[in-house]
Structure 1
Amino acid sequence: MPQDLQVSLLGELRVIASGSEVALPASRKARALLGFLVATARPHRRERLCELFWALPDDPKAALRWSLSKLRRAVDAPDRARIVADRERVQFDVEDVDVDIRRIHERLRQDGGPLPVADLEQMARQLDLVLLDGLDGAGDEAFDAWLLAERDDAEAARADVLGRLATHPAISAASAKKWQRLWREVEPDGAADNARASSASADGQAGGTGRRRRSRHDAAAGAPAPGSSIADRHAGTTGTSFKSRALRAQRIGFCQARDGTKIAYATVGSGPPMLKAANWLNHLEFDWGSPIWGRSFAAIARRRTFIRYDERGCGLSDWDVEDLSFEAFVDDLEAVVDKLGLDRFPLLGISQGCAVSIEYAVRHPERVSGLVLVGGYAAGWRHLATPDEQERREAVLKLTEVGWGTDNPAYRHIFSQTFMPDADPGDLAWFDEFQRLTTSPHNAARFQDAFGYIDVRHRLAHVKAPTIVLHSKYDQRIPLDLGRAIAAEIPDARFVPLESRSHIIVDYEPAWQAGFDAVGEFLAEKGI
């Protein structure tokens, strides 16, 4: 049954009600506001919308009210308000609204057999248009960054559609050649040629079915075949993807901790800052191709200035360091904040980075506007583990030191299997090699030893920042009870258990989206 309201974001913004096009306000800012609300389909604080579209000395609040009143005339029905607003937030209700780009994304995510050729061809025509064409510069730099990211997503969808057409089992050889050429234009990294060759060799025709369907994760991250090297994975990201663009745009700098250790940090994106405390197994460059970090980092950088750094002893920071302790980890975080002159920001902690974030938040309550803690613990294994478990940990320390840097991934597989037990075999292989390139065998053992001594249990009650704690229910590395204990002791902390066995959730697990949505709602609710 066709919907009464249709919104076209591809091309110039258009609204169609009951089959007739609706006149929109002449104001570019008002139309950009509508496009932003429809595309995001979530509540936004009025103050944030004012910042995005109106600058002083104008009256932003009055301009927002005027724009909303004009837009309501275009999209609201007599019995249904599409623009839902209260004194603090504004949202566009997309239920039962046909939004072209949203419909395309949903169709491409559907499981089952190939989509009909006619449907794919219609999608290709629509995606050939520029999303929200003509609205560049209608808002501030953060709006332009958001718009660029949305266009990158639309371009990725276009590449997906062209690839499906080029290798569709029901398409003629002549048509396949046309779509192959167009696909190659948007995926110049060789993926189109490789898929074409694979398809042709499978059944001898251009439209054969031999091509392996790229998963959503593959399309987003430019994933190589299982067993590819990290360099291949890193270089093979789709040129038009947001992650690839973000990798090129990130700005890497260095600061000096109190003991003289050089700490590498990176900033990417625009808007209000968000800082991620370092955790083990980070690398400022290789992280972007990661099935663990890449999609998460890109999503954050679309709306914020995202700041992260490599912990001492790994990544681009100094590896040859004397002090590899919890106190040194906190010093590194302080050095980055001071170097960038950050006044107030939400702090993201992952794994042992949660304890570092907690300690920093207690020491500097005036700077931390909120805490997002994922898969963390307040006390390390030397404090909580049974004697048998401590003995096993000591054995793993020795295995790490003698085997971490070898070509045999078995030693590193101990960690990859517990970090993400349900990951694809190709992602596990990638992670094995990522570990080897991230730090030295000696430092890998030192990290494990240092994490065992962490203890911030006495600091939890002193956290003043609004806090959300997320933890996988069946975490194979850090049990759920340790995350729950953090949430129980931090005043008014929110606890979100996630349906996963992974310590660090892989970006194609359903729990990834659930966790990301929970954090977004928390930050919006707290006005962070």
Structure 2
Amino acid sequence: MDISIKTFGELTILRDGQPADLPPSKLTRALFAYLLLTARPHRRDRLCEIFWDGPDDPKGALCWSLSKIRPLINSVNSERLVADRERVTLQSSDIEIDIRTAIAQVNDPSTSLNELLSINKHLKEPFLDGIDLPERDIFQQWLYNERKDIETLHCQILARLSSDPNIALTDRLIFTQQWEALKPFSRKATDQLLTQMELVGRTSEAEALKLEFTKRFQAAGIDWHHDSVKANSESGHVSEATQNITEDAIAGREPLSRQKIQFCTAKDGARIAYATIGKGLPIVKAANWFSHLEHDWSAPVWSPLFRELALDHHFIRYDERGNGLSDWNVDDISFDSFVTDLETVVDTCNVEKFALLGISQGASVSIEYAIRHPQRVSHLILFGGYAAGWRIGATKDIIKQREAIMTLTETGWGQDNPAYRQIFSSTFMPSANPEELDWFNEFQRLTTSPENAVRFLSVFGDIDVRHQLAKVSVPTLVIHSLGDLRIPVDTGRNIAATIPNAEFVGLESDGHLLLGREPASKVFIDAVKAFIRP
């Protein structure tokens, strides 16, 4: 059965070309759209939180809605809605979705003018009209972001149409006016609009607009001035400066929509979620605590680093067992299982040689992997790492303090009051602003359960790869924040001094985790790229 879905205007499902009757429940239709367009696995408890925070039986409500969605998109030969005890996934690779087709065509330079004009027409329709859920903040924020992305996509098309020499200059002017209306602070749109108005002889209007734009940008604190753009006098074709529309490309959340999340099975049967994105030299990021493949791309910590690495590399990462989208209910959470899970992911992805990135406790896992498989690791990058856990060589007082925190973790983790989780936030990111701390507090709750959080803390205390450091034979770069309050910089320096020929880079930061906005984040990216550059 062929299925196609229309998201412009009202949500419509076509089965073999015929419209299907959608469930009358707006919540169910919203759930379907969310599963369809996010195109990744979701934990059941998270879906309940997004859509049914109020009912006495949210799990039952979710099951009911899934039972209404299943017959719409499943067939005898294709089970597209896949749900187990922990997760729900809507597999849509064989479903034609109008917005997905539009994005592909816009990003294809060979797309014809008529196709662009057709897409432009569709983009004028409201996106997912009629499924707003104002009382569901998380869903409504997601829907708002999707619509903003559609608006940006529309600007991409208008930018191309506004500079297409096969379109009459007067029509191009109309497209440019629409572009500028959607992106009033785009220098390219405003500059091109003024240039085209000058070309069609509307000089006085252009002068009036120039004054308006100057005031607009000044009020926003943006420097702006207009230089007439050179144009071909016969065609009115605008120069390459205005054809460069990367300013309006969908850059914010696009990588999340392009990453591919899959599962592999570890030796003990635990399912490990991993994500792949990008092309080029492979980089594998060993898992560390506090990760979630579904939410990392919007994180103020991980997102900027991951996006940069994915631009020109085949970037692979995965969620630790007991964490994120990987199985939470597992018998074994141990250092050895962390290493074998990394082995499983690498083997599943079939990458023969790659750069290995280890962050925090992922550094010790990466060290162990590099010892076992030196022929597969081209470069080893360690950030904020340690070779010995908190129990190793600790005084009785330190052990008591850590055990007290573990007791608090068991009772305070996941509670609405984030006061407990702030203990972690303040040491991971001391310079974070209130919004970033709020995000981190919530992110902790999303990543794992209180029971698993305690298990992780205990396992981290027993890690010890000090005896392995001198055995590392691959090129190694050690990066550490000079003011790290969680893992002191001397720990990183000792690792670099013990690993043969290792390089060390100190960052001007106090964060165990780097905030994307701080200058140290760019230094980190530049150091990694320079280190692994062929």
Structure 2 counterpart of 1:231: none
- Counterpart of 2:181 in structure 1 is 181
User: Larger radius of gyration, structure 1 or 2?
Assistant: 2
Contact 1:375 1:478 in 2 (8 A): yes
Task: Indicate which of 288, 291, 314 corresponds to 2:300.
Answer: 291
1:305 maps onto 2:319 in alignment: no
382, 390, 393: which one pairs with 2:391?
A: 382
Q: Residues of 1 paired with 2:254 and 2:294: CA distance? A: 12
Counterpart Cα distance in 1 of 2:412 and 2:109: 57
Shift of 1:493: 0.2
TM-score where L is the length of structure 2: 0.56
Letter in 2 for 1:433: E
Q: Which runs of 5+ in 1 are unaligned?
A: 1-131, 137-151, 163-176, 187-205, 214-237
The answer to whether the aligner puts 1:399 opposite 2:408 as a matched pair is yes
Query: 1:468: Cα distance to partner?
Result: 0.2
Q: What is the letter of the counterpart of residue 438 of structure 1?
A: T
- Asked if 1:455 corresponds to 2:464, the answer is yes
Residues 31-63 of structure 1: per-residue CA shift (max 9 Å, x gap):
xxxxxxxxxxxxxxxxxxxxxxxxxxxxxxxxx
Q: Report if the CA contact (8 A) 1:239-1:245 is conserved.
A: no
**Using the alignment, how far apart are the partners of 1:267 and 1:239 within structure 2?**
25
Deviations 1:100-159 (A, max 9, x none): xxxxxxxxxxxxxxxxxxxxxxxxxxxxxxxx99799xxxxxxxxxxxxxxx9xx89x99
Cα distance per residue 1:246-291 (max 9 Å; x no partner): 1001111111111111000000011121100000000001000001
Counterpart secondary structure, 1:381: coil
Residue in 2 aligned with 1:413?
422
Displacement of 1:212 after TM fit?
A: 11
Question: Superposed, which structure 2 residues align to 1:112-511 within 5 Å?
Answer: 181-183=181-183, 240-511=249-520
Separation of aligned partners in 2, 1:469 and 1:324 = 26
Q: Measure, in 1, the Cα distance between the counterparts of 2:273 and 2:514.
A: 25
Kindly indicate whether the alpha-carbon contact (under 8 Å) linking 2:272 and 2:319 is maintained by their aligned counterparts in 1: yes
Gaps of 5+ in 2: 1-106, 112-148, 160-176, 187-214, 223-246
TM-score for the superposition, normalised by structure 1: 0.56
What letter is aligned with 1:182?
A: L
Give the alignment's Cα RMSD to 1 decimal.
3.2
Structure 1 residue ranges, 4+ long, deviating more than 3 angstroms after superposition: 132-136, 177-180, 206-213, 238-241
Q: 1:361 to 1:208 in 2, by over 3 A?
A: closer
Contact 1:257 1:263 in 2 (8 A): yes
Q: 1:415 to 1:239 in 2, by over 3 A?
A: farther
Closer, same or farther in 2 for the Cα pair 1:185/1:256, shift >3 Å?
farther
Aligned pairs, number: 318
SS in 2 for 1:411: coil
Contact in 2 for aligned 1:263/1:311 (Cα 8 Å):
yes
Cα offset for 1:207? 5.9
How many angstroms apart in 2 are the aligned matches of 1:512 and 1:343? 29
Q: CA deviation at 1:372?
A: 0.5
How far the C-alpha of 1:312 sits from its partner, in A, is 0.1
1:242 is paired with a residue whose SS is coil
Task: Classify the secondary structure of the residue corresponding to 1:372.
Answer: strand
Q: Partner letter of residue 329 of structure 2? A: D
Paired residue type of 1:252: I
Measure how far apart 1:340 and its partner are: 1.3
Classify the secondary structure of the residue corresponding to 1:428: helix
Contact 1:243 1:298 (8 Å CA) reproduced: no
Evaluate the alpha carbon distance shift between residue 207 and residue 264 of structure 1 in structure 2; reply closer, same or farther with a 3 A threshold: same
* Equivalent-residue separation in structure 1 for 2:267 and 2:397 (angstroms): 38
How far 1:341 sits from its partner (Å)? Answer: 1.5
